[in-house]
Amino acid sequence: MGLISEIVTPGRIVFGPGARHELAALVRESGAQRVLLVTGRDQTRAASVQSNIEAGGAAVATFAVASEPTLQMAREGVDAALAERAELVVACGGGSALDAAKALAILATNGGEPIDFLEVIGRGQSLKAPSIPVIALPTTAGTGSEVSRNAVLCSPEVRAKASLRSPLMLPKVALVDPELLADLPKPVLAAGGLDALSHLIEPFLSVRAQPLTDAWAREGMRRSARSLRRAYTQGLDASAREDLAVASLCGGLCLANAGLGAVHGFAAPLGGSFSAPHGAVCAVLLPLVLEVNARALAARAGDNPVNAKLGELASLLTGRAAPAVPSAAATSQSVHAVVHWLEELVNDLQIPALRSYGMSAGDIPDLVAKAKMASSMRANPLPLADDELTEILTRAL
Protein backbone atom coordinates (compact mmCIF):
# COMPACT_ATOMS: atom_id res chain seq x y z
CA MET A 1 0.00 0.00 0.00
CA GLY A 2 1.33 3.47 -0.89
CA LEU A 3 1.81 6.37 1.47
CA ILE A 4 -1.23 8.43 2.40
CA SER A 5 -0.95 11.86 0.79
CA GLU A 6 -2.92 15.06 0.64
CA ILE A 7 -3.05 18.07 -1.64
CA VAL A 8 -3.35 21.57 -0.19
CA THR A 9 -3.89 24.67 -2.32
CA PRO A 10 -5.08 28.24 -1.80
CA GLY A 11 -8.79 28.88 -1.77
CA ARG A 12 -8.60 30.17 -5.35
CA ILE A 13 -5.94 30.59 -8.03
CA VAL A 14 -6.62 33.33 -10.58
CA PHE A 15 -4.05 33.22 -13.39
CA GLY A 16 -3.44 35.07 -16.63
CA PRO A 17 -2.36 38.32 -18.27
CA GLY A 18 -4.27 41.17 -16.64
CA ALA A 19 -5.35 39.06 -13.64
CA ARG A 20 -4.29 41.90 -11.34
CA HIS A 21 -7.34 43.85 -12.47
CA GLU A 22 -9.51 41.33 -10.61
CA LEU A 23 -8.18 42.55 -7.28
CA ALA A 24 -10.79 45.24 -6.59
CA ALA A 25 -13.61 42.77 -7.14
CA LEU A 26 -11.92 40.20 -4.91
CA VAL A 27 -11.53 42.74 -2.12
CA ARG A 28 -15.20 43.72 -2.44
CA GLU A 29 -16.22 40.04 -2.34
CA SER A 30 -14.24 39.63 0.88
CA GLY A 31 -16.29 42.35 2.57
CA ALA A 32 -13.12 43.85 4.09
CA GLN A 33 -13.16 47.59 4.78
CA ARG A 34 -9.65 47.82 6.22
CA VAL A 35 -6.77 46.38 4.20
CA LEU A 36 -3.08 46.08 5.02
CA LEU A 37 -1.06 46.17 1.81
CA VAL A 38 2.32 44.46 2.22
CA THR A 39 4.89 45.45 -0.40
CA GLY A 40 8.56 44.98 -1.18
CA ARG A 41 11.26 47.60 -0.89
CA ASP A 42 10.27 49.13 -4.27
CA GLN A 43 6.62 50.09 -3.94
CA THR A 44 6.25 51.22 -7.56
CA ARG A 45 4.32 48.17 -8.71
CA ALA A 46 2.14 48.31 -5.61
CA ALA A 47 1.02 51.91 -6.19
CA SER A 48 -1.56 50.89 -8.79
CA VAL A 49 -2.64 48.00 -6.56
CA GLN A 50 -3.31 50.41 -3.71
CA SER A 51 -5.33 52.68 -5.99
CA ASN A 52 -7.28 49.68 -7.21
CA ILE A 53 -8.22 48.64 -3.67
CA GLU A 54 -9.12 52.19 -2.62
CA ALA A 55 -11.32 52.64 -5.70
CA GLY A 56 -13.39 49.77 -4.35
CA GLY A 57 -14.05 51.68 -1.14
CA ALA A 58 -11.64 50.01 1.32
CA ALA A 59 -9.17 51.90 3.48
CA VAL A 60 -5.55 50.89 2.84
CA ALA A 61 -2.49 51.03 5.09
CA THR A 62 0.91 49.87 3.84
CA PHE A 63 3.74 47.85 5.33
CA ALA A 64 7.03 47.71 3.38
CA VAL A 65 9.37 44.72 3.56
CA ALA A 66 12.85 46.02 2.81
CA SER A 67 14.70 42.68 2.95
CA GLU A 68 14.15 38.99 3.53
CA PRO A 69 11.78 38.84 6.52
CA THR A 70 13.22 38.45 10.00
CA LEU A 71 11.65 37.66 13.35
CA GLN A 72 11.71 41.36 14.23
CA MET A 73 10.09 42.30 10.95
CA ALA A 74 7.33 39.79 11.64
CA ARG A 75 6.72 41.41 15.02
CA GLU A 76 6.53 44.84 13.41
CA GLY A 77 4.12 43.51 10.81
CA VAL A 78 1.85 42.07 13.49
CA ASP A 79 1.86 45.44 15.26
CA ALA A 80 0.89 47.15 12.00
CA ALA A 81 -1.94 44.70 11.30
CA LEU A 82 -3.35 45.06 14.81
CA ALA A 83 -2.97 48.85 14.87
CA GLU A 84 -4.80 49.16 11.56
CA ARG A 85 -7.42 46.56 12.58
CA ALA A 86 -6.77 44.87 9.23
CA GLU A 87 -9.54 42.59 7.99
CA LEU A 88 -7.61 41.54 4.89
CA VAL A 89 -3.93 41.42 3.95
CA VAL A 90 -2.95 41.98 0.33
CA ALA A 91 0.64 41.01 -0.48
CA CYS A 92 2.20 42.49 -3.61
CA GLY A 93 5.87 41.81 -4.33
CA GLY A 94 8.46 39.06 -4.41
CA GLY A 95 8.80 36.12 -2.08
CA SER A 96 9.94 38.25 0.85
CA ALA A 97 6.82 40.41 0.77
CA LEU A 98 4.53 37.40 0.35
CA ASP A 99 6.21 35.44 3.15
CA ALA A 100 6.13 38.45 5.47
CA ALA A 101 2.43 38.97 4.72
CA LYS A 102 1.53 35.35 5.46
CA ALA A 103 3.61 35.42 8.65
CA LEU A 104 2.12 38.60 10.09
CA ALA A 105 -1.41 37.55 9.10
CA ILE A 106 -1.19 34.24 11.01
CA LEU A 107 0.74 35.63 13.97
CA ALA A 108 -1.73 38.48 14.40
CA THR A 109 -4.51 35.98 15.14
CA ASN A 110 -2.48 33.48 17.19
CA GLY A 111 -0.62 35.79 19.57
CA GLY A 112 2.71 34.92 21.11
CA GLU A 113 6.18 35.40 19.69
CA PRO A 114 7.22 34.23 16.20
CA ILE A 115 9.82 31.95 17.80
CA ASP A 116 6.99 30.06 19.55
CA PHE A 117 5.80 28.65 16.22
CA LEU A 118 9.02 28.47 14.21
CA GLU A 119 10.39 25.11 13.03
CA VAL A 120 13.89 23.82 13.90
CA ILE A 121 15.23 26.90 15.68
CA GLY A 122 12.00 27.69 17.55
CA ARG A 123 9.52 25.90 19.78
CA GLY A 124 7.50 24.45 16.91
CA GLN A 125 4.10 25.07 18.53
CA SER A 126 1.06 24.54 16.31
CA LEU A 127 -0.78 27.52 14.85
CA LYS A 128 -4.42 27.09 15.90
CA ALA A 129 -6.37 30.20 14.90
CA PRO A 130 -7.25 30.98 11.28
CA SER A 131 -5.14 33.66 9.63
CA ILE A 132 -6.33 37.08 8.59
CA PRO A 133 -7.30 36.32 4.97
CA VAL A 134 -4.48 36.93 2.48
CA ILE A 135 -4.60 37.76 -1.23
CA ALA A 136 -1.15 37.15 -2.74
CA LEU A 137 -0.07 38.96 -5.89
CA PRO A 138 3.50 37.96 -6.88
CA THR A 139 5.62 40.35 -8.96
CA THR A 140 8.51 37.88 -9.43
CA ALA A 141 8.63 34.27 -10.63
CA GLY A 142 10.50 32.08 -8.20
CA THR A 143 9.31 31.38 -4.69
CA GLY A 144 5.78 30.13 -5.34
CA SER A 145 4.89 31.66 -1.98
CA GLU A 146 1.46 32.60 -3.29
CA VAL A 147 0.41 28.93 -3.11
CA SER A 148 2.50 27.54 -0.26
CA ARG A 149 1.61 26.99 3.39
CA ASN A 150 4.80 28.30 4.95
CA ALA A 151 6.70 31.54 5.46
CA VAL A 152 10.47 31.65 5.85
CA LEU A 153 11.84 33.92 8.56
CA CYS A 154 15.48 34.69 9.29
CA SER A 155 16.95 34.80 12.77
CA PRO A 156 20.18 36.85 12.66
CA GLU A 157 20.90 35.76 16.24
CA VAL A 158 21.31 32.09 15.33
CA ARG A 159 22.30 32.76 11.70
CA ALA A 160 19.63 30.53 10.20
CA LYS A 161 16.30 30.60 8.44
CA ALA A 162 13.31 28.51 9.37
CA SER A 163 9.62 28.32 8.53
CA LEU A 164 6.30 29.00 10.08
CA ARG A 165 4.14 26.27 8.58
CA SER A 166 0.43 25.49 8.65
CA PRO A 167 -2.43 24.88 6.20
CA LEU A 168 -4.03 27.88 7.90
CA MET A 169 -1.38 30.03 6.18
CA LEU A 170 -2.53 29.26 2.64
CA PRO A 171 -3.65 32.48 0.93
CA LYS A 172 -7.34 32.94 0.30
CA VAL A 173 -6.54 33.88 -3.29
CA ALA A 174 -3.37 33.57 -5.37
CA LEU A 175 -3.62 36.25 -8.07
CA VAL A 176 -0.91 35.51 -10.65
CA ASP A 177 -0.45 37.98 -13.51
CA PRO A 178 2.50 37.25 -15.85
CA GLU A 179 2.42 40.87 -17.07
CA LEU A 180 3.86 41.95 -13.71
CA LEU A 181 7.13 40.22 -14.65
CA ALA A 182 7.80 42.53 -17.60
CA ASP A 183 10.38 44.77 -15.93
CA LEU A 184 12.22 42.24 -13.77
CA PRO A 185 15.93 43.06 -13.37
CA LYS A 186 18.09 40.30 -14.83
CA PRO A 187 19.61 39.21 -11.47
CA VAL A 188 16.11 38.86 -9.98
CA LEU A 189 14.91 36.97 -13.06
CA ALA A 190 17.89 34.59 -12.86
CA ALA A 191 17.75 33.90 -9.12
CA GLY A 192 13.97 33.56 -9.11
CA GLY A 193 13.86 31.32 -12.15
CA LEU A 194 16.49 29.00 -10.72
CA ASP A 195 14.71 28.93 -7.37
CA ALA A 196 11.53 27.88 -9.17
CA LEU A 197 13.45 25.18 -11.04
CA SER A 198 14.76 23.78 -7.76
CA HIS A 199 11.15 23.79 -6.44
CA LEU A 200 10.25 21.55 -9.36
CA ILE A 201 13.22 19.17 -9.38
CA GLU A 202 13.47 18.51 -5.64
CA PRO A 203 9.78 17.61 -5.12
CA PHE A 204 9.90 15.42 -8.26
CA LEU A 205 12.64 13.36 -6.58
CA SER A 206 11.25 13.70 -3.04
CA VAL A 207 10.27 10.77 -0.84
CA ARG A 208 6.88 12.48 -0.61
CA ALA A 209 6.32 12.82 -4.36
CA GLN A 210 2.85 11.85 -5.58
CA PRO A 211 1.09 11.75 -8.97
CA LEU A 212 -0.33 15.28 -8.85
CA THR A 213 2.91 16.90 -7.74
CA ASP A 214 4.77 14.93 -10.39
CA ALA A 215 2.38 16.29 -13.02
CA TRP A 216 2.92 19.86 -11.85
CA ALA A 217 6.68 19.31 -11.75
CA ARG A 218 6.77 17.95 -15.30
CA GLU A 219 4.79 20.89 -16.66
CA GLY A 220 6.87 23.44 -14.77
CA MET A 221 10.20 21.91 -15.80
CA ARG A 222 9.23 21.86 -19.48
CA ARG A 223 8.32 25.53 -19.37
CA SER A 224 11.37 26.55 -17.36
CA ALA A 225 13.72 24.61 -19.64
CA ARG A 226 12.42 26.28 -22.80
CA SER A 227 12.13 29.83 -21.47
CA LEU A 228 14.45 30.67 -18.57
CA ARG A 229 17.70 30.99 -20.51
CA ARG A 230 15.93 32.69 -23.42
CA ALA A 231 14.24 35.20 -21.10
CA TYR A 232 17.57 36.08 -19.52
CA THR A 233 19.47 36.51 -22.79
CA GLN A 234 16.74 37.84 -25.08
CA GLY A 235 14.20 39.46 -22.79
CA LEU A 236 10.85 38.60 -21.25
CA ASP A 237 8.33 38.42 -24.07
CA ALA A 238 4.74 37.39 -23.37
CA SER A 239 5.33 33.66 -23.87
CA ALA A 240 8.39 33.66 -21.59
CA ARG A 241 6.50 35.58 -18.91
CA GLU A 242 3.72 33.03 -18.97
CA ASP A 243 6.12 30.09 -18.91
CA LEU A 244 8.07 31.41 -15.94
CA ALA A 245 4.91 32.37 -14.03
CA VAL A 246 3.51 28.86 -14.57
CA ALA A 247 6.83 27.28 -13.55
CA SER A 248 6.89 29.31 -10.34
CA LEU A 249 3.26 28.53 -9.56
CA CYS A 250 3.78 24.80 -10.18
CA GLY A 251 6.93 24.88 -8.05
CA GLY A 252 5.02 26.40 -5.16
CA LEU A 253 2.33 23.73 -5.41
CA CYS A 254 4.99 21.02 -5.55
CA LEU A 255 6.95 22.18 -2.52
CA ALA A 256 3.77 22.72 -0.50
CA ASN A 257 2.67 19.13 -1.12
CA ALA A 258 5.80 17.03 -1.68
CA GLY A 259 8.55 18.84 0.23
CA LEU A 260 12.02 19.67 -1.03
CA GLY A 261 15.44 18.14 -0.32
CA ALA A 262 19.10 18.74 0.43
CA VAL A 263 19.35 21.87 -1.73
CA HIS A 264 16.91 23.67 0.52
CA GLY A 265 18.27 21.90 3.58
CA PHE A 266 21.51 23.76 2.92
CA ALA A 267 19.82 26.97 1.78
CA ALA A 268 18.29 27.58 5.22
CA PRO A 269 21.57 27.90 7.19
CA LEU A 270 23.41 29.47 4.24
CA GLY A 271 20.77 32.16 3.84
CA GLY A 272 20.82 32.87 7.55
CA SER A 273 24.62 33.10 7.67
CA PHE A 274 25.44 35.06 4.52
CA SER A 275 23.82 37.84 2.52
CA ALA A 276 23.13 35.72 -0.53
CA PRO A 277 20.03 35.58 -2.74
CA HIS A 278 18.12 32.41 -1.94
CA GLY A 279 17.66 31.47 -5.57
CA ALA A 280 21.35 31.93 -6.34
CA VAL A 281 22.31 29.65 -3.44
CA CYS A 282 19.89 26.99 -4.65
CA ALA A 283 21.23 27.31 -8.20
CA VAL A 284 24.83 26.63 -7.19
CA LEU A 285 23.86 23.66 -5.04
CA LEU A 286 21.32 22.04 -7.36
CA PRO A 287 23.64 20.20 -9.81
CA LEU A 288 25.96 19.13 -6.98
CA VAL A 289 23.15 17.75 -4.83
CA LEU A 290 21.70 15.95 -7.83
CA GLU A 291 25.03 14.32 -8.62
CA VAL A 292 25.72 13.24 -5.02
CA ASN A 293 22.16 12.00 -4.54
CA ALA A 294 22.39 9.91 -7.71
CA ARG A 295 25.70 8.41 -6.64
CA ALA A 296 24.34 7.60 -3.17
CA LEU A 297 21.23 6.00 -4.66
CA ALA A 298 23.31 3.84 -6.99
CA ALA A 299 25.49 2.71 -4.10
CA ARG A 300 22.87 2.20 -1.39
CA ALA A 301 19.40 2.07 -2.98
CA GLY A 302 19.59 0.68 -6.48
CA ASP A 303 15.91 -0.28 -6.44
CA ASN A 304 14.71 3.19 -5.39
CA PRO A 305 12.05 4.49 -7.85
CA VAL A 306 13.88 7.82 -7.97
CA ASN A 307 16.47 6.16 -10.21
CA ALA A 308 13.88 5.82 -12.98
CA LYS A 309 12.88 9.44 -12.51
CA LEU A 310 16.45 10.57 -13.09
CA GLY A 311 16.18 9.34 -16.67
CA GLU A 312 12.91 11.21 -17.12
CA LEU A 313 14.48 14.32 -15.64
CA ALA A 314 17.06 14.36 -18.41
CA SER A 315 14.30 14.12 -21.00
CA LEU A 316 12.30 16.97 -19.46
CA LEU A 317 15.22 19.37 -19.13
CA THR A 318 17.59 18.54 -21.97
CA GLY A 319 15.35 16.88 -24.54
CA ARG A 320 17.43 13.72 -24.24
CA ALA A 321 15.23 10.65 -24.78
CA ALA A 322 14.53 8.74 -21.58
CA PRO A 323 15.98 5.21 -21.65
CA ALA A 324 13.47 2.62 -22.85
CA VAL A 325 14.84 0.13 -20.33
CA PRO A 326 16.24 1.76 -17.17
CA SER A 327 19.67 0.50 -16.15
CA ALA A 328 22.51 1.69 -13.96
CA ALA A 329 24.50 2.76 -17.02
CA ALA A 330 21.54 4.61 -18.55
CA THR A 331 20.79 6.37 -15.27
CA SER A 332 24.42 7.45 -14.95
CA GLN A 333 24.35 8.91 -18.46
CA SER A 334 21.08 10.75 -17.71
CA VAL A 335 22.47 12.21 -14.49
CA HIS A 336 25.61 13.38 -16.30
CA ALA A 337 23.45 15.08 -18.95
CA VAL A 338 21.28 16.86 -16.38
CA VAL A 339 24.22 17.99 -14.25
CA HIS A 340 26.00 19.35 -17.32
CA TRP A 341 22.82 21.14 -18.47
CA LEU A 342 22.29 22.71 -15.04
CA GLU A 343 25.91 23.81 -14.73
CA GLU A 344 25.73 25.50 -18.12
CA LEU A 345 22.45 27.21 -17.18
CA VAL A 346 23.88 28.50 -13.90
CA ASN A 347 26.94 29.79 -15.76
CA ASP A 348 24.86 31.44 -18.51
CA LEU A 349 22.72 33.18 -15.89
CA GLN A 350 25.92 34.48 -14.23
CA ILE A 351 25.37 32.94 -10.79
CA PRO A 352 28.63 33.09 -8.78
CA ALA A 353 30.12 30.45 -6.49
CA LEU A 354 29.31 30.58 -2.78
CA ARG A 355 32.66 32.10 -1.87
CA SER A 356 31.49 35.34 -3.48
CA TYR A 357 29.03 35.76 -0.60
CA GLY A 358 31.72 35.38 2.08
CA MET A 359 31.57 31.65 2.73
CA SER A 360 34.84 29.83 3.36
CA ALA A 361 35.95 26.25 4.00
CA GLY A 362 35.99 26.98 7.71
CA ASP A 363 32.23 27.49 7.69
CA ILE A 364 31.46 24.06 6.26
CA PRO A 365 31.30 21.92 9.47
CA ASP A 366 28.82 24.28 11.13
CA LEU A 367 26.70 24.54 7.96
CA VAL A 368 26.60 20.74 7.59
CA ALA A 369 25.49 20.35 11.22
CA LYS A 370 22.71 22.92 10.78
CA ALA A 371 21.62 21.54 7.40
CA LYS A 372 21.11 18.08 8.88
CA MET A 373 18.50 19.58 11.21
CA ALA A 374 16.59 21.41 8.45
CA SER A 375 13.07 20.17 7.76
CA SER A 376 13.72 20.03 3.99
CA MET A 377 16.32 17.30 4.49
CA ARG A 378 13.59 14.86 5.51
CA ALA A 379 12.22 14.78 1.95
CA ASN A 380 15.57 14.13 0.26
CA PRO A 381 15.52 10.83 -1.72
CA LEU A 382 17.73 9.26 0.96
CA PRO A 383 19.76 10.43 3.98
CA LEU A 384 23.18 11.76 3.02
CA ALA A 385 26.27 11.09 5.14
CA ASP A 386 28.37 13.89 6.60
CA ASP A 387 31.14 13.34 4.06
CA GLU A 388 28.64 13.61 1.20
CA LEU A 389 27.19 16.83 2.61
CA THR A 390 30.70 18.19 3.11
CA GLU A 391 31.62 17.33 -0.48
CA ILE A 392 28.63 19.33 -1.80
CA LEU A 393 29.58 22.48 0.08
CA THR A 394 33.28 22.13 -0.68
CA ARG A 395 32.60 21.92 -4.40
CA ALA A 396 30.11 24.80 -4.18
CA LEU A 397 32.86 27.15 -3.02
Residue 215 in any domain: the answer is yes
What pLDDT does 43 receive?
75
Shared domain for 203 and 160, answered yes or no, is no
Residues 143 and 289 in one domain: no
pLDDT at 324: 65
Q: Which among 28, 247, 78 has a CA at the least distance from the CA of 147?
A: 247
> Which CATH number is 104's domain given?
3.40.50.1970
- CATH number of the domain to which 283 belongs: 1.20.1090.10
Backbone angles phi, psi at 208, to 5 degrees: -105, 10
Final residue in a domain of this structure, among 165, 181, 197: 181
Task: Indicate whether 73 and 138 sit together in one domain.
Answer: yes
End position of a domain, from candidates 181, 211, 244: 181
What total of structural domains would you count in the chain? Answer: 2
Residue 291 structural domain? 186-396
Asked whether residue 290 falls in the same domain as residue 195, the answer is: yes
Q: What is the structure's pLDDT at 355?
A: 94
Any bridge partners for residue 39, and if so which? Answer: 64, 92
Supply the pLDDT for residue 322. 66
pLDDT value for 323: 64
For residues 175 and 107, membership in a common domain is answered with yes
Domain boundary among 181, 216, 232: 181
pLDDT value of residue 1: 36
Is 4 part of any domain? no
Q: Looking at the domain assignment, is residue 6 inside a domain?
A: no
Instruction: Tell me which DSSP letter residue 128 carries.
Output: -
Residues 6+ apart with CB under 8 A from 325: none
Mean pLDDT for each consecutive 10-residue tract of the chain (397 residues)?
74 95 93 95 80 89 91 95 97 95 97 90 91 96 95 86 92 97 93 97 96 97 97 96 98 96 94 88 96 94 86 88 71 90 96 94 95 93 97 96
